[in-house]
Amino acid sequence: MIEKLQHKYALSRQGAIDMVKACICVTITNIALMMPAGILYMLIDDLLHDGLDKDRIPFYIIASVVVLILIALTNFVQYNATFLTTYRESGVRRTTIAEKLRKLPLSYFGKKNIADLTTNIMGDCAMIETASSHWIPELIGALASVSLVGVSLFFFFDWRMVLASFWVIPTAFIIVVTCSGAEKRAVRKNQAVKLAMSDGIQECLECVRDLRANNAEGQYMEELDGKIKNVEKFALFTELKMAIYVNSAAIILKIGIGSTAVVGGALFANGKIDILTFFMFLMLVSRLYAPMEITLQNFAAIIATGIQCERLDEVLSHEIQTGSEKLDNKGYDITFDHVGFKYADDTDVLSDVSFTAKQGEVTALIGPSGGGKTTISRLAARFWDADSGRISLGGVDVSKIDPETLLANYSIVFQDVTLFNNSVMENIRIGKNGATDEEVMEAARLANCDEFVDLLPEKYNTNIGENGCELSGGERQRIYIARAFLKDAPIILLDEATASLDAENETAIQEALSRLIKDKTVLIIAHRMRTIANADHIVVLKDGVVAEEGSPEKLSATDSIYSRMTKQQLIAQNWKM
């Protein structure tokens, strides 16, 4: 049962145990709240039969005080069991999700958009928190306490009155249960249009410059307005569908008052029950049905929450990349041995790729766009795992190494630069945790950052804005390269690392790289032939296979793809308006 609760509501083991405890506490509290009705029943029974004996007064006073104390205690215990434990579990859940995301293969994030993952961590967690603290314990507690009371009344009082009073409760719940499938479909659709709206808003904010430059604001805002109206439309539709079922069930509950009165009146008229029993059942249904209406609403909400639980469980149950935390490699050669790779849609990216990037050499990956160059760099760093073949680092299969242990040996400069809303100093320091200011500035000097940093208002302490928005493209890329210099790992992966640099800065960076790469394994992806002119080994990729490889001199001497690309780029450089 505990494991089922864990998966159903995306809970930790302790969270599932706490939920069971919370349901038990709510049940006990509900029963405690019904005890005053029992004392009142005994009091009226005394008054109607022999009158109230003075010797019985202390009993009723003590019983009332005891019941009040019991109600206070059970409410206190229930509060701790439902709210405090839920908030603690909510913190555990968010931490667990963050840890899980940290260990998932990076390919997972390529399949998910930011808005969806943010909704997972924030929105879905908040919804499950409300369900765990309010809806689920109250629902289970209400059903358990009502069932216990119903069984007790069945044995100690007239069974016909019990049936007349309680038949509406299972009927009402059956009505709500029948809507569960339709409600989940509506919630999924509602979730989809909300996600589309969030994506649209985020895209609008990120691309506002391009929209203005192309006079496309009006058309885009019209489409975004349609997405926002869709959210409103489907929210109303979902609420209406839920309201139809819940209100229908609530009407059934109201009928229970009438059936109790009719059956009780008939039994009383025929002398089958006394007035006190009749009165007690009328008091019971008036006390019982109002909370049950709220419970039905909670039940409908729990059904809807199942979608959020499924989304969170999908993250928490996703397979993670594991491996040895000890790397027993011999050197830092990266070897691809008959490697094949497909994306999730079964599109072939690499087919039987074999080559070796040797330590102490610069290996360049070139070729037409879509040939698989970036995929190879991602596989080498185990962002993804190959579908076939073997990738090894110093003779050790990278798929057997823990990703964090493996990445400690890589300095990576991606084609897409990512900076943080922080100072220049802290953005570079990400490359090496605990690096001194002097180490950071030396790495910045190697990456030619100092020439523009000296012009900033607060030099290295200048905040560069979200994703470095205060800097030019070339300046942002140089900060990114400085991180790789600071990390000073034995393997360097450069994916179009100098794409945003002018010729002068590119030459300076290449000079710095030549100092950095001594005795290191360098794998570089580039489209500009001058960037890789001094590479030791060139691997030409086309349509996911190694079309040719060799030194620049060797490939230039033949009618190779490399030589043709070099000539074409030379023609392009000499082109004039």
Residues 6+ apart with CB under 8 A from 463: 421, 422, 423, 470
C-alpha 513/C-alpha 3 separation (Å) is 53
Q: What is the pLDDT of residues 267-289, one digit of tens each?
A: 888 888 888 888 888 877 877 77
Q: Which residue reads 């943010």 in tokens?
A: 118
Instruction: Count the neighbouring beta carbons within 10 Å of the beta carbon of residue 37.
Output: 13
CATH 1.20.1560.10 boundaries in the chain = 2-316
Going by their DSSP bridges, the two strands 362-366 and 521-525 should be labelled as parallel
**SS3 of residue 94 by DSSP:** helix
pLDDT at 571 (0 to 100):
62
Please compute, for residue 357, the number of CA atoms within 13 A of its CA located in the half-sphere on the CB side.
Answer: 27
Q: What is the pLDDT of residues 369-419, one digit of tens each?
A: 777 888 888 888 888 888 888 999 988 888 888 888 888 888 888 777 788
Return the CATH number of the domain spanning residue range 334-409+489-573.
3.40.50.300
Going by their DSSP bridges, the two strands 491-495 and 348-357 should be labelled as unpaired
Among 1, 294, 293, 292, residue whose Cα is nearest residue 147: 292
**SS3 of residue 415 by DSSP:** coil
Instruction: Count the neighbouring beta carbons within 10 Å of the beta carbon of residue 450.
Output: 17
- Reply yes or no on whether the pLDDT at 353 is more than 80: yes
Percent of the chain with pLDDT over 90: 0
CATH 3.40.50.300 boundaries in the chain = 334-409+489-573
pLDDT at 132 (0 to 100):
75
Q: What is the pLDDT of residues 184-216, one digit of tens each?
A: 777 778 778 887 887 788 777 777 778 788 887
pLDDT band at residue 42 under the 50/70/90 scheme: confident
- Reply yes or no on whether the pLDDT at 519 is more than 80: no
Residues 6+ apart with CB under 8 A from 125: 90, 93, 94, 97, 312
Crossing angle between the packed helical segments 13-49 and 85-103, to the nearest 10 degrees: 160
Q: What is the pLDDT of residues 53-105, one digit of tens each?
A: 777 788 888 888 988 898 888 888 888 878 878 777 777 777 777 778 777 77
- Helix runs in 332-449, H state only: 373-380, 403-407, 424-429, 437-446
Fold of 2-316: ABC transporter transmembrane region fold (1.20.1560)
- Mean pLDDT computed over every residue of the chain: 80
